[in-house]
Amino acid sequence: MRTITKLTFALAFVLFAVIGAQAQSYSTGIGLRGGAASGLTVKHFIKSDAAIEGILSTSFKYRGTVLTVLYEKHAPAFNAAGLQWYYGIGGHIGFWEGRHYYDRHHKHYHDDVVGVGIDGVLGLEYYIRDIPFTIGADIKPYINIPSGGGFWDTALHVRYVF
Q: Which of 73-82, 98-107, 140-149 has the highest mean pLDDT?
A: 73-82
CATH number at residue 85: 2.40.160.20
Average pLDDT, stretch 84-96?
94
How many domains would you assign to the chain?
Answer: 1
- Taking the C-alpha atoms of residue 138 and residue 55, their distance in angstroms, rounded to an integer, is 13
Residue 21's domain spans which residues? 2-161
**Is 60 exceeded by the pLDDT of residue 102?**
no
What is the pTM assigned to this prediction? Answer: 0.78
In the prediction, which pLDDT does 95 show?
A: 86
**Is 90 exceeded by the pLDDT of residue 1?**
no
Query: Mind listing the pLDDT tens digit for each residue in 29-71?
Result: 999 999 887 999 999 999 999 999 999 998 766 678 999 999 9
